[in-house]
Chain A
Amino acid sequence: MDGDARTPLGHNPIQIDANACVRCTLCDWVCPGDIIYKEEGDRETLPVVAYPDECWYCGHCESVCPTDAITIVFPDRMLHNDSDVISLLGVVDGADGAATPSSGDD
């Protein structure tokens, strides 16, 4: 679904232990990305990680939780990363690397 950016990764980095959670809203309040939603004044509902794919992995929610109910879990592509760092360093036309000075462009 193109317009819906909720779970393309299929990974929820913010794991909430329902038995330990006291439904207090603090995780919602400190999240800098508007990712965790907790209904205020409702002692029944759990916080919902509405946009797991937009998590910064800052751990503010984990550190503020009064009952240590939150654990940040990293996805496999962060823990076991096999990407090629060279792909982050730019493309120069006609050359595989960019280290050669003055390729004659322009």
Chain B
Amino acid sequence: MNGEVIRLETDVAVVGGGVAGCMAAIPALEAGLEVVICDKGKLLERSGSVGGGVDHYLTVMETGPEWDTPDFLLKHIPELTDGIVDMEVTDRVVREMPRVLRKLESLGVDFTDPRTGTYDRHRSFGLPGAYHINFDGTRFKHHIGQRVRRGKARVLARTMGVQVLVEDGRAYGILAFDVRSGDWYVVRARAVVLSTGDVNRLSKNASGLAFDSWHCPYNTGDAQAMGYRAGTTLANMEFTETTLTPKGFSTQGLNALVSLGAHFLNKDGERFMFRYDAKGENARRAVLADAVINEYLEGKGPVYLDCTHMPKDVLDHMEATLQIDRHTLPAFYRQKGVDFRTDPIEVSISELSIRRSGLYFRGSGIAVDMNGESSVRGLFSAGDSATVSGGIAGAATLGHIAGESIVQYAQEGHRLPEVVPGLADRLAAEAAAPLERPDGPGWRPFEDRIREVVTDHAGVRRTARGLRHALEALRGLEREEGRLGAREHHQLMRVHEARNVRLNGEMLAEAALERQETRTGSAHWRIDFPQTDDEHWRSFVLIDRTDDGPGVRTLSARGPLSAGFRRTAENGG
């Protein structure tokens, strides 16, 4: 196994040092609690999906107009989420947004436009008001990460969480390992936060390269998998998200061109988008993706994005801002030899993510209550791994709520189990077992097969028969997990990630088989049940661990997810 087994004692253990995890750590640190935070990245100032920067932030600000109030936004959320959303948690998140915005500003984030000194707010993503602040968030994560570091949190860098310690329905710590040194950490903690973002590397894309993905490919549903194994209830796992990309490079960046006036053309040169939506290219993003998928399925591909009709000043602006979405996008077009001023760009769809299905406030993952706490007491989640998620703002706000709730929880004085002698070494040895098989099958071919199965049978078009086939194949792959080998701890990380991707794929297929309707377009499109069925399916699909793998049940979406929690730990001390 090499490396030491290091035992730590703390108040709060955070797995995943992105926006949600750091914002959960901050209130705990302010209250004088000790925090251990681990992340697979090296620098907390750069960790997570927006470590490289962010340029918009969704919030209500209560500046006067009716649309800028929590009540107004909340009123519209059921329709924005196609009726499947936990309104109790969302209500708290939206009402906390103005306060968390001020908190971020107190950490040094400047949301104002330096030219005007005011907030540059825009209406976008189909929201019913100008809730998005456009700002220079290059150093957004820097400020948040730095606050955690200055608060004397113990940061375990390049460290992957693999297991939550649970006794009697209550979390009391985590197991993690340093992917370079091979040191193992057994962290005993009063509360645990799982915040590792969305699930990627789950299905195929045009390039066939697993790490060429729209969202961060190092986000592999570690929190969702750890939560599942620890006994948390999960929800909304059937909903996936895809986007439109320049073919060959799974990156964001096309939507910016579309919003500036680019047209989609099919192989016949037809501007087809008006056949799908009266707003044409101004339709919701999910509509655009669905339309392109359908054109391809009807044999009308390739589909192109055409900017050649646009005026020079707009093209100049496009070129100047191309790298905002992805630093390397200008280099991609340059190396490809394509100039969007004169050449239509061939379009593909990206791989799938399990990530709030492109909507705000309907997250997919660990079900949480209005404190950000899961069905396992003392185990919290926020960000894209939790069931209420709204981009960066949602991660920051629910993360902060979870942190404040933990301060309260820690004061309740629950009995904190001991890490019994031998347990730490045994768990570390189990998790390190692939290192004992350096010549065992590698994680990569294993993972490739997950992507084939999910793409073919649990992707943008689904049937009962296909989903059953997917489940059978994914369960078959589970039986191979015990043979996977690794030569060093970096590969051990990839083995654990591959196992987590597989488990998330299995939960996706189970939930998708259960939901016998189509909802939110290609997020969950059942060919055998092509209609949205509000009469029977205004329901969440919940997933719990059973002896036979993920078990599903349904719960009315008219109440909160926490109504379906089967908590076994008692309240209070």
Pick the interface stretch among B22-30, B162-170, B203-211, B370-378: B203-211
Which among A33, A50, A74 is the interface contact of B335 at CB below 8 angstroms?
A74
B161 to chain A, nearest CB (A): 15
Pick the interface stretch among B35-43, B276-284, B396-404: B35-43
**Once the chains bind, are B332 and A74 in contact (CB under 8 Å)?**
yes
In the assembled complex, which residues on chain A have CB atoms less than 8 Å from the CB atom of B485? 3
Given contacts A98-B527, A99-B298, contact A51 B490 (CB under 8 A): yes
Residue of A nearest to B247 (CB): A81
In the assembled complex, which residues on chain A have CB atoms less than 8 Å from the CB atom of B301? 85-86
In the assembled complex, which residues on chain B have CB atoms less than 8 Å from the CB atom of A8? 444
A71 to chain B, nearest CB (A): 8
Most buried by B among A78, A91, A97: A78
B96 to chain A, nearest CB (A): 29
Once bound together, how far apart are the Cα atoms of A50 and B212, in whole Å? 17
A32 at the binding interface (Cβ < 8 Å): yes
A78 to chain B, nearest CB (A): 4
B344 at the binding interface (Cβ < 8 Å): no
**Once the chains bind, are A103 and B328 in contact (CB under 8 Å)?**
no
B348 at the binding interface (Cβ < 8 Å): yes
Chain B residue total in the interface (Cβ 8 A)? 76
A76 to chain B, nearest CB (A): 9
Once bound together, how far apart are the Cα atoms of A99 and B246, in whole Å? 23
Which among B298, B457, B486, B527 is the interface contact of A3 at CB below 8 angstroms?
B486
Once bound together, how far apart are the Cα atoms of A71 and B328, in whole Å? 10
In the assembled complex, which residues on chain A have CB atoms less than 8 Å from the CB atom of B296? 85-86, 89
Q: Taking chain A's interface residues, is the majority helix, strand, or loop, or is none over half, making it mixed?
A: loop
B309 at the binding interface (Cβ < 8 Å): no
**Once the chains bind, are A103 and B527 in contact (CB under 8 Å)?**
yes
Once bound together, how far apart are the Cα atoms of A92 and B83, in whole Å? 28
**Once the chains bind, are A9 and B209 in contact (CB under 8 Å)?**
yes
In the assembled complex, which residues on chain B have CB atoms less than 8 Å from the CB atom of A57? 212, 249, 251, 326, 328, 332
Pick the interface stretch among B223-231, B414-422, B458-466, B547-555: B458-466
Chain A 3-14 near chain B by CB (<8 Å), digits 1 or 0:
111001100000
**Once the chains bind, are B442 and A5 in contact (CB under 8 Å)?**
yes
Chain B 40-74 near chain A by CB (<8 Å), digits 1 or 0:
11110011000110000000000000000000000
In the assembled complex, which residues on chain B have CB atoms less than 8 Å from the CB atom of A54? 211, 217, 494
B455 at the binding interface (Cβ < 8 Å): yes
Which among A50, A51, A63, A90 is the interface contact of B327 at CB below 8 angstroms?
A63
B350 to chain A, nearest CB (A): 9
Most buried by B among A51, A54, A55, A81: A81
**A41-62, CB < 8 A from B:** 50-51, 53-60, 62
B251 to chain A, nearest CB (A): 8
**Once the chains bind, are B440 and A3 in contact (CB under 8 Å)?**
yes
Once bound together, how far apart are the Cα atoms of A17 and B507, in whole Å? 45
Q: Would you mind naming 15 contact pairs between A and B with Cβ atoms under 8 Å apart?
A: A3-B487, A3-B491, A34-B180, A57-B326, A57-B332, A59-B326, A63-B327, A78-B332, A83-B207, A89-B460, A89-B461, A90-B456, A90-B459, A90-B461, A105-B466
The 5 closest A-B pairs by CB, nearest first: A81-B248, A98-B461, A59-B327, A106-B464, A99-B297
Further contacts, 18 of them, CB under 8 A, given A5-B491, A73-B335, A78-B248: A30-B42, A32-B218, A34-B493, A54-B217, A58-B327, A59-B326, A74-B331, A75-B209, A77-B208, A78-B207, A80-B248, A85-B247, A85-B349, A88-B206, A90-B457, A102-B530, A105-B465, A106-B464
